[in-house]
Amino acid sequence: MVEDEEHRRMRGEVEHNWFARWEEELPSPEELMPLSQSLITPDLAVAFDISSPNPSAAPPHTQLPPPPPEFESPDLSAPSGAGSAGNEEPARTLKRPRLVWTPQLHKRFVDAVAHLGIKNAVPKTIMQLMSVDGLTRENVASHLQKYRLYLKRMQGLSSSAVAGGSGAGGGVPPGPISAVDAATEQLFAGNPIPHSFLSRSVPGTGQEPFLQFMAPSLLPHHPQMAAATAYYHQRQIGFDHGFLAMEPPGLQRMGATSLGLIQPPAAAAHPANSYGDNINLSSRGGGEKRVLTLFPTGSED
């Protein structure tokens, strides 16, 4: 069953179908949000001001918060809130734990870039538009780099002879797919790629054509790749780190939380939710890791 889908996917014919399925199978933010909240310790939640369900940020299927290309969202709040009560963690000069780019966050990233246009899609601008607290220019820059590589790879593929229709055997035969590209592809694959990036100008600023085609995301069937299919590693889940993958010390605010920044392994808790597929990666002789699969963000503007 799954194989069939993959084969068709390779042909690039059922894009909509798989995409639609994706959305359907995707865990609703609602499902994940509450879950994450539960995981969040009350103490921490209070510190962040998110102890209670945020009225302004808890849309069931929300598409994308309002990232107006003109004004910034008030997500960025000053650290004044915590000034009083029992939580005084210097958010400055503290090393930040790894940031986990969750589909939701990535979606926002893409959205920001789309509105800005490749031309203005610079780390700083993107970061500002995203208005995600805790997000720094470095984070965006790094992600942007990967994003670019992802798009670049797409161009090459669609432009070059591909076809290969036969995915026989393996799937993606040719393809000097760097590890980074593959990974990026994975993450970005399930995300909406603003056509603006591929060949159109964006609203607001005159842009030149950047890419040309938006090829369906081809997921290499490599065993390792499969593992990548799982957005989170066996223990790379943001659980250990909290929601934003940020440790308590150094946290300021989390608009991100409301955004559904992190996505806990719902699959682990809800086996009933069968996403794309949980792939068991068998590295070699006994290396077995199970990963959760969740990705894409819903829709595009």
Q: At closest approach, how far in Å is the CB of 55 from DNA? A: 29
Nearer to DNA, 218 or 245 (CB): 245
Q: Which helix or strand (DSSP H or E) is residue 289 part of?
A: strand 288-290
The residues near 224 (Cβ < 8 Å, ≥ 6 apart) are 281
Decide if residue 98 touches DNA (CB under 7 A). Answer: yes
The residue from 51, 142, 273, 278 that contacts DNA (CB under 7 A) is: 142
The residue from 77, 205, 283, 299 that contacts DNA (CB under 7 A) is: 283
Q: At closest approach, how far in Å is the CB of 60 from DNA? A: 25
Q: At closest approach, how far in Å is the CB of 11 from DNA? A: 24
Decide if residue 280 touches DNA (CB under 7 A). Answer: no
Decide if residue 138 touches DNA (CB under 7 A). Answer: yes
Contact indicator for 29, 59 with CB cutoff of 8 Å: yes
Which string of DSSP letters, residue by residue, matches 17-34?
HHHHHHHHHSPPHHHHHH
Which residues in 164-183 contact DNA (CB under 7 A)?
A: 179-180, 182-183
Q: Which helix or strand (DSSP H or E) is residue 282 part of?
A: strand 280-282
Which amino acid type is present at position 218?
Answer: L
The residue from 165, 233, 270, 299 that contacts DNA (CB under 7 A) is: 233
What is the spatial distance between Cα 287 and Cα 4, in angstroms, rounded to a whole number? 27
Considering only the stretches 58-66, 73-81, 95-103, 256-264, report the one whose residues sit in contact with DNA under the rule CB under 7 A. 95-103
The residue from 1, 95, 161, 272 that contacts DNA (CB under 7 A) is: 95
The residue from 62, 131, 186, 257 that contacts DNA (CB under 7 A) is: 186
What is the spatial distance between Cα 199 and Cα 201, in angstroms, rounded to a whole number? 7
Q: Which two tokens stand for residue 267?
A: 């699959």
Q: How many residues bind DNA (CB under 7 A)?
A: 39
Decide if residue 155 touches DNA (CB under 7 A). Answer: no
99: left (phi over 0), alpha (psi -120 to 50) or beta: beta
Which residues in 242-261 contact DNA (CB under 7 A)?
A: 245
